[in-house]
Chains A and B, each alone.
Chain A
Amino acid sequence: MSAKLTSRQVGDVTVIDAAGRITLGEGTSSLRETIRNAVGAGQRKVLLNLGEVNYIDSSGIGELVSAFTTVTNQGGQLKLLHLNKRIQDLLQITKLYTVFEVHDDEAAAVRSF
């Protein structure tokens, strides 16, 4: 039920595949730790794949913002991949679609960095 996050490299882009629920507690902690590990390892191009995330609350949305600022503050870029309709709706409601660059195709997303 809680979030599962795994990282892989595609060229110089770190793709983080997230699945499950990103809600206050384990879900947000896991995301924060994964992003910090990536940035701490020197990664500056991060693609967060939310295709298998079926639930996200306001704390999860806040954690996405935190991930964005963490990577950006290190001179990097964080982009989002494969948003389902629920997450798209949340980004619309919270006006964060103006903040995040969102992609539907992984190869194109990787090339965009």
Chain B
Amino acid sequence: MANRGSEQQDGATKRVDATYESQLGSVDTAEMEVLEIAQQAGFLEEELHKISIALREAMVNAVVHGNKYSAQKKVRLKAWTDVQGLHIVVADEGNGFDLSGVPDPLADANLLRESGRGILLIQAFVDEFQVRRLYPAGTEVTLVKYRAQG
């Protein structure tokens, strides 16, 4: 399911650089890979939970909304840790999306919608969140979770 060819030992921490099929199973695999390096970097249980949620939401967006489960399109995941914290980059090969076009899930009119809360949870659970349009196709999201101070 995943090509983990470039995962490597890099000093005290590992990097993840993997390519996944556009399947829900890839979300579980990516979660395990990223939590492994986050745990190794010293993130504690509650922070790991937040990282897990944010990563899963980014991966689901890539598999479901970006690549629309296409067997021809892949999801690329990179993750690494440094002194700042944990960095995660998820890229799909879909048609891209406009962040400003996502309905506000906190608006009263949208509270009972069944979907549309993924970006909200990512923003709540990581310290930095960026979305970049890729050319000719795709969307890349970058998440950063800072190390706890002190």
Q: Across the two chains, which residue of chain A brings its CB closest to B31?
A: A23
B120 neighbours in A (Cβ, 8 Å): 58, 93-94
Q: Are B117 and A62 in contact (CB under 8 A)?
A: yes
Partner of B105, one of A55, A63, A94, A98: A94
- Flag whether B111 is at the interface (Cβ < 8 A): yes
Q: How large is the interface on A (under 10, 10 to 19, 20 to 34, 35 or more residues)?
A: 20 to 34
B106-144 toward A: CB 8 Å interface, digit per residue (1/0)?
Answer: 100001111101101100100000000000000000000
Partner of A57, one of B111, B114, B121, B124: B121
- Flag whether B47 is at the interface (Cβ < 8 A): no
B8-26 toward A: CB 8 Å interface, digit per residue (1/0)?
Answer: 0000000000000000100
B112 neighbours in A (Cβ, 8 Å): 65, 68-69, 99
Question: How many residues belonging to B are interface residues under a CB distance threshold of 8 Å?
Answer: 21
> How far, in whole Å, are A68 and B111 apart by their CA atoms in the complex?
12
- Flag whether A37 is at the interface (Cβ < 8 A): no
Shortest beta-carbon distance from A58 to chain B in Å: 4
Partner of A61, one of B56, B64, B106, B117: B117
Shortest beta-carbon distance from A99 to chain B in Å: 6
Q: Are A58 and B106 in contact (CB under 8 A)?
A: no
- The residues in B between 69 and 89 inclusive whose CB is less than 8 angstroms from any CB of A are none
B91 neighbours in A (Cβ, 8 Å): none
Shortest beta-carbon distance from B106 to chain A in Å: 5
Q: Are B124 and A93 in contact (CB under 8 A)?
A: yes
A65 neighbours in B (Cβ, 8 Å): 111-114
Shortest beta-carbon distance from B96 to chain A in Å: 20
Q: Ordered nearest first, which 8 A-B pairs have the shortest CB separation?
A: A62-B114, A58-B117, A58-B118, A93-B124, A25-B24, A66-B114, A95-B106, A62-B115
